Structure 1
Amino acid sequence: MSRLTQLELYLKDHPEHVSPLVDFDSQTDKLFPFDFSSSNQELSPQTVADTSLFSSWISNKLQVNNCRYGLGGYNERRMLYSRSELFNNSEEPRRLHLGVDIWAEAGTPVYAPLSGQIHSFRFNDAFGDYGATLILEHDLDGLIFYSLYGHLSLSSISGLQKGAIVKQGEKIAEFGIFSENGNWPPHLHFQLILDMQGHEGDYPGVCQFSEKLKFLGNCPDPDILLNRTFS
């Protein structure tokens, strides 16, 4: 049985071990499904390249649709990464998104969906990078995996210690502003990782399309946890 199958079965059998990632009330909140694939013709390259314009576009979409949160992105092939040289530094640019993005206002609280410990954290400050980043390690009856939280506020990683215990449902972070989150509209990049492969405070959130199978095999769909947040 694969580790992914083990993880899926464990979470199915123990739903009480999973808590919402953000504050979301299914009775009063609506969720906007963002599509940043190449089929989305609404966003111009000029808008995406300008963080303020891009942020205004996101905020307007949420406002006119009466949504506090937007969601999307796993296994999505996106052209918007052309805005940063971070993703264009090879013969094949990185365009495939490996996590899920939750779009909301800066300062939005983030909670630990599972108990665990702090694996690592870092301020990845390049334009287009994660900005303030936190990675948790989880141990579910011997099944070890990791969750990554990118585009946080700097205060979210201030004073942290590797190995510190994090309780399920504990507030662990907040969405960051432009200068703290890699120069993106405020949002959370949430990613699951089976094997950190030696990375500390960072792990690719976008890969080359030719490496799709390898990276998606190591980064399962976060919906196996998020379905407890947005249901």
Structure 2
Amino acid sequence: MNYLEELQDFLSNNLIHKVVDFNPTTDQLLPLDFTANNKELTPEILADTDLFSLWVNNKLANANARYGIGGYNEHRTIYSRSEHFDTLEEPRRLHLGTDIWGPAETPIYNFYDATVHSFKFNDNFGDYGATIILKYEIEDLEFYALYGHLSLASLSGLAEGKFILAGKQFASFGVKEENGFWPPHLHFQLMFDMQGMKGDYPGVCRFTKRDEFLQNCPNPELILKHTFTSALPKNT
């Protein structure tokens, strides 16, 4: 059994808690597309975080949606807004996590017992901002979840190795000044191997490295389906 099969087997046979508050009988999710197919996101909007936030908020309000969602394995043009995603060989554009877009201070919960692997304030324009990485251990399998674009208060009182109980609120969505200058949202990403990194792991890769990174970063729907149940869009 490989890592992915082992993780799938565990998740299908154990209680997995919510990541954010959501009532599938009353709340709605709105898939948001940040590829080149989205012609609404002009360079002017992407260059101004307040305009970008207003665009997201209007989309959610018009759809009567509690959250926007999407992005895993999505080739996104929006990263052209920041030099943080440029490299000499090839710009990074392929998204490796799932984003949940919603109001700043939205609570974030731990889906299973974990310990703090690392945390950091990645304070570059377009970066994660406040970031927490939790470590999960399932028999002989270890995997990690990265929570990015958090509030700075989420980092208060943390220490590597600190135990975080399943179901506990441990973080919240950050405002632009704390989340890398993005509209408020959670970047949620799974990794089997941290590859020696702490407080950070690429959430966006070069397209030519797609297969390598996706093998290490499985679809977060494995976890999020326990929060959103049938409301989760097919393309997430």
- Aligned match of 2:139: 141
Asked if residue 5 in structure 1 is aligned to residue 5 in structure 2, the reply is: yes
What letter is aligned with 1:205? G
1:142-157 equivalent positions in 2, closer than 5 A: 142-157=140-155
Q: Deviations over 1:5-43 (max 9, x none)?
A: 1111111122x1x10100000111111111111111111
Instruction: Tell me the equivalent position of 1:130.
Output: 128
Q: Describe how 1:1-231 pairs up with structure 2 within 5 A.
A: 1-14=1-14, 16=15, 18-231=16-229
Quote the Cα distance in structure 2 between the aligned partners of 1:91 and 1:222.
Answer: 28
Question: Which secondary structure does the structure 2 equivalent of 1:122 belong to?
Answer: strand
- How big is the shift at 1:224? 0.5
SS at match of 1:229: helix
- Matched position secondary structure for 1:230: helix
Distance in 1, matches of 2:193 and 2:60, equals 35
Distance 2:121 2:49 in 1: 19
Moved more, 130-139 or 46-55: 46-55
Question: Where does structure 1 lack aligned partners over 5 or more consecutive residues?
Answer: none
Aligned to 2:233: none
Query: Cα deviations across residues 63-84 of structure 1 (Å, max 9, x unaligned)?
Result: 0111111100000000000000
Distance 1:20 1:159 in 2: 23
Displacement of 1:138 in angstroms is 0.2
CA-to-aligned-CA distance 1:111-137 (integer Å, 9 cap, x gap): 001111000000000000000000000
Identity of aligned residues (%): 55
**Structure 1 residue runs of 4 or more that deviate by more than 3 Å after TM superposition:** none
Aligned amino acid, residue 77 of structure 1: H
Q: Distance in 1 between matches of 2:87 and 2:217?
A: 22
* TM-score, length of structure 2 as denominator length: 0.96
Q: Separation in 2 of the partners of 1:210 and 1:59?
A: 33
SS at match of 2:227: coil
Partner of 2:234: none
SS at match of 1:199: coil
- Aligned length, in residue pairs: 229
Alpha-carbon distance between aligned partners in 2 of 1:201 and 1:67, rounded to the nearest angstrom: 31
1:188-215 Cα distance to aligned partner (Å, 9 max, x none) = 0000000000000000000000000000
Match of 1:61, SS state, is helix
Question: Which letter maps to 1:197?
Answer: Q
1:90 CA drift (Å): 2.0
